[in-house]
Chain A
Amino acid sequence: MDLNYTDSQKAFREEVRSWLQANVPSEPLKSFDTSEGFRQHREWEAKLNDGRWGMVTWPEELGGRGCDLIEWLIFEEEYYRANAPARVNQNGIFLLGPTLMEYGTEEQKARFLPMMATGEEVWAQGWSEPGAGSDMAAIRSKAEKVGDHYVINGQKTWSTRAVWADWTFGIFRTDPDSSRHKGLTFILVPLDAEGVTVRPIEQLDGLPGFAEIFFDNVKVPAENVLGGEGMGWHVAMSTAGFERGLMLRSPARFQETARRLVELYKANQEEADIDPVIGDAVIKAYLDAEAYTQTTYMTASRLVKGGKIGPESSTNKIFWSELDQKMHETAMSILNARAELWPHAPQAGEVGKWLDGFLFSQAGPIYAGTNEIQRNIIAERMLGMPRA
C-alpha cells in the first residue's frame, strides 16, 4: 500500500489542470436538455477531443491517452474541480464506447468510435420498455431478420438524451419464440431512420431529458448488430458492468458536492444549527463521499494490478445514489425557505444549483437498476441468500 501519487501521476494531474483552466468556458453552458444547451455541449465535446481529453482511457489511435483507472480518477477529480461541463455524450463514451471496443468488429469500431469521440454522433440509451423496467428481460420490442436487414417494431422508453441524440443502442428480441434473457440482440439504430418516432418526456425539472422511442418497421442493416445475434443480454450486462458504472459516476462528482455542502453550511451555520441534525448530516455526507472515493481507489488499484471485480460492486450504486440524495436534502434544509426557489427568482439570492441537483438526486435510486433490484443482487449473488 502506498497512498502517494507517483511523479508521472502528479505530472498528469498538472497537465489536466492547466488545460482545463485554459479551456473550460467561463460562462456555464445551458442545460443539455435544451436545444441551445445541447449544441453548446456538443461543441465542448469537440474541443475536449481536439485536446485529446475526450476519453483519456481510450487508446491513443482513437484519440485517447491509454490511461489506467487511477489516471482516470485523477482526470475526473480535476474535471469536477474545474466545474467543467457535464458530458452530453456519456451514454456513448462511457457506456457504449467500451462495449464496442470489447465486442465490436474492426469495421464497427472504425465507423462509430471516432464520430462518438468528436461528439458528432451523440448516443441515447434504449434499454427500458413500458413493460420492461426493473425486469429488463421482459423486453418485447422485436427485430426480425429479413435478408441483410433487421426490421424493428416496438417501443423503448426513458431513453436518456434521445430528444436530440443521433443514435440509440439497446436490446431487441430477435427470436420470437424466446423468453427472458435468451433470444435478445444488441443493435445500434440511427434515430433519423424511417419509421422512428421520438416523443419527448418532460422530467421533474420540466425539460425533455428523456423520451419514448417508437419503432415502426424500422430497417437496420445487419452490420449494426453488436456481439452477434442472440448475445444481447450478455453484451448489455457488460455495458452495465462496474467499470462503466465507475465512468458514469466517479467519486469526484460527489466529493465536490460534499465540499460545496460544507461551504454552504459554514456560510449559514448559525441559522442551520437551530436544527442540530444538519451539522451532523454535513459531516456524515463528507465522510461518505470520502469513503466512496477511497473504496473506488482500492478497487481501481486492484484492477490495475490484474485483479477481478466481484459481486460486491453492486453495493456502489446504492451507496452513491443515497449519498447524493442525502447531500441535497441537507442543502435544502440549510437553504431553508429559499430552497424551493429557482436561482432566477428575484429573492433567491445565492442559492446556486442545489435545487436542480436535488431534483436530479431523486432519480439516482431509480435509474441504472433500482436500489431494490441492487439489494436483491447483493443478497443473492454477494451474500448467497436463497432466491425467491
Chain B
Amino acid sequence: MDFTFNEDQLVFHDSVKSFLTNEVTPERIREQWTTESGRSSDLWDQLAELGLTAMTVPEAFGGLGMNELDFILLAEECGYVALAEPLVDTVLVAVPLINSLGNEQKHFKESWLPRIAEGKATVAVGHQNNPLVADAHIADLLLLPNGNEVHAVPSEQVELLLNESVDPSRKLYKVTWTPSAETLVANEEEGKKLWEATLNRGALAAAAQQLGLARRIVDLSVDYTYERKQFGKPVGSFQAVKHHMANVAVKIEFAKAPLYRAAYDIAEGLSTAGRSVSHAKLATSEAALLGAKNGIQVHGAMGYTWEVDLHIFMKRAWALDASYGSQGFHKKRVKDSLLAEGALLGAGNSFVN
C-alpha cells in the first residue's frame, strides 16, 4: 500500500508546472481571446516539444507509453493556468479512445497516433453526454457517436456551428455530419464500452482541471485580500474573509485523494473506476464551485469586473461542472453502486476491487 506519486512523476510535474505558469499567463489567455481560433499553434508546438502530446500514446506508435496516473498532476496544472489548448482532452480522452479501438483499426492508429504524439494533428471527441463538441474547429479528425457506434470523421466532412460559452476560452460546436461505412471505426457493441470508458476519462479530465482551478482561485483571492485595505487593514485579516478561504482549502484537501484514486483506477483498469471517477468529479467540482463563489465574494466588486483575472478561472470552473456528466448524473452513479445488492461498504473496503 503506497498512496504516493513516484519521484519521476513528481519531477516531471514540477517542470511542467513551471513551464505552464511562465508561459500560460492571464495576459496570454486574454490575448488569445482576441484571435479568431482562440488557440495558439505556437503554444501547441511548445507543449508537443515537452513531450506532453505524446504522453499516453504507446511507444509502438512513437509515444511515451505513459498512463492516466502519470498525467493527472499535469492535468491539474493545466486547470491551474486555465490552458485553452485541448491538451488534457487529447491526452486523457482522444488518444486512449483511438488506442482502445480493435486490432482491425491498426492502420488507422498508425496513421493518427504518431502525428498526435508529434503535435502535428489534433482530434476532437464528441460524447452522448455532451451536446456540443469542444475544439472541433482546430481538429483534423473528429471521433463522434452515432448511437453507440464510433465514427472517425475527417474535418472536411463536418459542418460546425459555434456556440458561445460564458468562458471566452471555450470553443464549443454543434457538429453536423453524416455517418457512413467509411467513417465507422467501432460497432454498437464495442462502441458502448468505448463510450463508457470515454465518459470516465472525460470526467477525470474535467475533475483534474477543476482541482487546479480551485487552487488558482484561492491563490488569486488570497493575494487580493493582502492588497485590498479597509478599516486601515488588509481585508484578509478579517475572520469572515479568512473563513471563506479556509472553507475552500478544506474542500481542496479532500478532493485530491479521490482524484488521484480515480486516475489510478482508470490506469489499472479496475472495476471500481466508475464510482471513483464520479467521486472525483463531484469532490473537485464542489471545491471549484465553492472557490468561485467565495473567491468573487472576497474580491468584492472587483470580482465582478472583466478587468480582474479571477473570472478567467471562475468561468472555466462553472463551464466544466457539467462537462462529461452533471452532478446529478455522477451522484446517481454513486448511489446505484452503493445501494447495489452485495456492495462492499465500510471500514476495510476502500481499496477492495
Q: A interface vs B, CB < 8 Å?
A: 1-6, 9, 13, 70, 74, 76-78, 80-81, 251-252, 255-256, 258-259, 262, 266, 279-280, 282-283, 286-288, 290-295, 297-298, 300-302, 305, 307, 312, 315, 318-319, 372, 374-376, 378-380, 382-388
Contacts and interface: CB of A to CB of B under 8 A. Distances in A.
Contacts of B247: 375
B301 interface: no
Nearest to A387: B237
B347 A80 contact: yes
Given A1-B6, A291-B258, 12 more contacts: A3-B1, A5-B1, A70-B1, A76-B347, A81-B346, A283-B335, A297-B3, A298-B3, A301-B2, A318-B246, A375-B242, A379-B245
B283 A259 contact: no
Could you say which of A6, A259, A387 has the most chain B C-beta atoms within 10 Å of its C-beta?
A259
Interface string B1-15: 111111000000000
Interface string B210-236: 000000001000100110000001101
A259 B346 contact: yes
B338 interface: yes
Contacts of B234: 386
B282 interface: yes
Interface stretch (B93-101, B248-256, B310-318): B248-256
Contacts, number: 166
A292 B254 contact: yes
Contacts of B176: none
Given A255-B350, A288-B254, A319-B250, A262 B339 contact: yes
Contact of A295 (B218, B246, B253): B253
Interface string B252-283: 01111110110010000000000000010011
Nearest to B332: A283
8 contacts: A256-B346, A291-B258, A297-B1, A375-B242, A375-B246, A376-B242, A379-B249, A385-B241
Nearest to B343: A262
Contacts of A286: 334, 338, 345
A76 B27 CA distance: 51
A81 B1 contact: no
B350 A294 contact: yes
A258 B69 CA distance: 28
A287 B249 contact: no
A298 B350 contact: no
Contacts of B28: none
Nearest to B254: A291
Nearest to A260: B346
B255 to A, nearest CB: 7
A251 B348 CA distance: 10
Given A279-B335, A319-B250, A388-B237, A2 B1 contact: yes
Nearest to A297: B3
Contacts of A302: 4
Contact of A13 (B241, B254, B348): B348
B237 A385 contact: yes
A382 B2 CA distance: 25
Given A252-B347, A258-B346, A383 B249 contact: yes
A1 B2 contact: yes
B338 A262 contact: yes
Contacts of B349: 255
Contacts of B236: 379, 385-386
Interface string B42-77: 000000000000000000000000000100000000
Could you say which of A256, A376, A386 has the most chain B C-beta atoms within 10 Å of its C-beta?
A386
Could you say which of B241, B245, B258, B346 has the most chain A C-beta atoms within 10 Å of its C-beta?
B346
Contacts of A292: 254
A376 to B, nearest CB: 6
**Nearest 10 A/B pairs, CB to CB:** A259-B346, A379-B242, A294-B257, A252-B347, A375-B246, A77-B347, A77-B348, A378-B246, A301-B3, A298-B3
B13 to A, nearest CB: 13
Contact of B257 (A2, A13, A259, A291): A291
B338 A315 contact: no
Contacts of A388: 237-239
Chain A binding surface, main DSSP class: helix
Interface string B326-340: 000001001100110
A21 to B, nearest CB: 14
A381 to B, nearest CB: 11
Contacts of A301: 1-4
B347 A259 contact: yes
Contacts of A288: 254
B106 interface: no
Nearest to B263: A1
A76 B346 CA distance: 12
A359 to B, nearest CB: 23
A382 B347 CA distance: 30
Nearest to A279: B335
B243 interface: yes
Contacts of A81: 346-348
A291 B255 contact: yes
Nearest to A71: B1
B306 interface: no
A82 B34 CA distance: 63
B179 to A, nearest CB: 37
B347 A385 contact: no
B237 A297 contact: no
B106 to A, nearest CB: 31
Interface string B72-109: 00000000000000000000000000000000000000
A291 B279 contact: yes
A315 B253 contact: yes
A92 to B, nearest CB: 24
B279 A266 contact: no
A287 B348 contact: no
Contacts of A259: 345-347
Given A78-B348, A255-B346, A293-B350, A298 B257 contact: yes
Contacts of A312: 249, 253
B254 A262 contact: no
Nearest to A320: B254
Contacts of B351: 3-5, 297
B258 A298 contact: no
Contacts of B258: 287, 290-291, 294
A319 B4 contact: no
A182 B335 CA distance: 53
Contacts of A375: 239, 242-243, 246-247
A9 to B, nearest CB: 6
Given A283-B331, A315-B250, A9 B1 contact: yes
